[in-house]
Chains A and B, each alone.
Chain A
Amino acid sequence: MRVSTVLYDDRITEGLEAEAIGDQLWLSPAAMTAATGWKLETEGLCKGDACVRTDTQWVDADGRVNLSAFAAHMGQPVTREDAHGVWAFGTSVNARRDALFSLNAPEFTLPDIDGNLHSLSDYRGKKIFMYSWGSY
């Protein structure tokens, strides 16, 4: 089955060269980087300063990367939607918990109603009262 879309946290990448074999999703190295930000280097899969040593099972003879195996290693939850060729990779519960319990307010960037982007860090130096609402 050809997969076209990967959701990686809130990153959406469409039109990917990817193939689902059983419950494993294989991507070309370029597609892997486009979808997740992780890049295949000689040391392993790297993003910024972080490198994860590549398990031999993660790369096949054609050089494709098994994103499902990597995500399992990282403790990430995975959900797939075959009808639309979409796979979603979330954040591990440990990473989420560590971030929240550090008490450093997690950063985010969202649009306002006019489409202007705002990041939480734009308001550093002020006391922030952030509240949720919904139209429902």
Chain B
Amino acid sequence: MWQAVYEELKDEGLEIIAVAFDTAGKAAVEAKIRAADCAERPAMLARLMGWNDDLWARQAPPTYPCLIDEAHVVAELYGMTNVPQGVWIDENGRIVRAAESAGAYDMVHHMNRATFEIPDDAAEAGIAIRDLYINALRDWVRKGASSAYALPANEVRRRMRGPSEADVRAATHVHIGRYLYGKGAIEGAKFHFKEAVRLCPDSWNYRRQSNMLDPQSIGELNAGPDFWEAIDALGGKAFYPAADFSSAG
């Protein structure tokens, strides 16, 4: 769906890079692209993702690079803890917005857990959040450093999730987990991903990956009891804290 945004802005200097945090690699990504259950319920998916009618009508297969990150390296480098999160990098390779929700609404707190149905007010809120994010992206592409959404360096740093000792240790477990997965040692891989979750409990990437290492689960959506249990453990806290555009403009 980002393809519609790419088509619109690529001639104005925007590049999009998608990074899939998937230890099962190509097999998982290809399974997801087929995604039969979503294809059969397109209206549900549009509501879930918060794409407005215009963007949804313009959807197309991506022509920008879609990369596969089996060891979650980019998550480690950029402090990304969930999907989708976005990072903005300017022409000089400087980060002007650090990892934050890429316009996703906190739908997990509003949807029906069995049917994925979403009430109208939540669907509207989802579209509003997505539109806000995309409009900010358009503004930055067109105005560059003078866009209010390209943050000053100190503000970028203030919003960053700095790495902790536990984070860098968790990353070593993820590297071992990914290595063992590649060797077919699935139980060993699970053990090390669970260790990463224990050390870095706020990483939804590690948590959801750890639940999806069985070969038969490739490409499935991780929305089982363990996922909802973790959502419940948030209390009222956001799964997708909205990107903060308040101090801008």
Chain A positions near chain B (C-beta within 8 angstroms): 5, 7, 9-10, 12, 77-79, 81, 83-84, 86, 88-93, 96-97, 99-101, 103-106, 108, 110-113, 118, 120-121, 123-136
Contact (Cβ within 8 A) B185 A10:
no
Cβ–Cβ contact A133 & B15, under 8 A: no
A134 touches B176 (CB 8 A): no
Question: Nearest Cβ distance between residue A126 and chain B, in whole angstroms?
Answer: 4
- A79-B173, A81-B188, A123-B17 known; A7 and B22 CB under 8 Å? no
A106 to B94, CA, bound (A): 9
A110 CB, nearest partner CB in chain B, Å: 4
Bound-state Cα–Cα, A123 to B92, Å = 10
Distance of B53 from chain A, by nearest CB (Å): 22
Chain A interface, DSSP helix/strand/loop, else mixed: mixed
CB closest residue in chain A, given B71: A10
Main secondary structure, interface of B, reads mixed
A selection of 6 A-B contacts at a CB cut-off of 8 Å is A81-B180, A88-B176, A130-B18, A133-B84, A135-B24, A136-B22
Please name the residue on chain B nearest to A101 by beta carbon. B157
**B68 contacts A111, C-beta separation under 8 Å:** yes
B128 contacts partner chain A, Cβ-Cβ < 8 Å: no
Closest 4 CB pairs of A and B: A135-B32, A110-B67, A79-B172, A106-B77
Scan residues 164-186 of chain B and give those whose CB is less than 8 A from a CB of chain A: 164-165, 167-169, 171-173, 175-176, 179-180, 183, 185
CB pair B205 A132 closer than 8 Å? yes
A99 to B165, CA, bound (A): 15
CA gap between A113 and B76 in the complex, in Å: 21
Contact with A along B88-100 (1 / 0, CB 8 A): 1111111100110
Q: Which single member of B14, B17, B160, B208 contacts A100 (CB below 8 Å)? A: B160
Query: What is the bound-complex CA distance between A29 and B240, given in angstroms?
Result: 48
Chain B contacts to A: CB under 8 angstroms: 2, 5, 13-22, 24, 26, 28-32, 65-69, 71, 73-80, 82-95, 98-99, 102, 137, 140-141, 144, 153, 156-157, 160, 162-165, 167-169, 171-173, 175-176, 179-180, 183, 185, 188, 192, 195, 205, 208-209, 211-212, 218-222
A121 contacts B93, CB within 8 Å?
Answer: yes
One of B73, B171, B205 near A108 (C-beta < 8 A)? B73
